[in-house]
Structure 1
């Protein structure tokens, strides 16, 4: 399991679709989603996180923190999660 910020978790859920079987939990208290990193559209995730942060520097810091230890070319499933 890989801890990310709420904005990043929401962006990943948006990418896979909120009704996807890969979304394990999506509540106000926590988000858990299973996805292969290579399937993520990082441009769309960055755009979503930037809008939520209201600025590019905070968004870029958030993206860097979230994916610094993730191989974005991997097709192995990773559980990304956020909890309050």
Structure 2
């Protein structure tokens, strides 16, 4: 009877180890996917901020030119 239980116990131990490895790999892949999504989200936000900064710089430059033009026109 013991000879029959020992291989079954070994098979059960290997199945439990396989389950733990599967869960560990699933957690690792989920974490990497979450990090990848966060990276893309942050890069989108950074690009958006960079674009906004360029727009504001251009607007400031345009306002500076308008103020200069206004001051030149008001001299006359």
Alignment TM class, shorter chain as reference: under 0.3
TM-score by length of 2: 0.20
Q: Which has the larger radius of gyration?
A: 2
TM-score by length of 1: 0.18
Higher strand share: 1
Q: Higher relative contact order at CA 8 Å, sep ≥6: structure 1 or structure 2?
A: 1
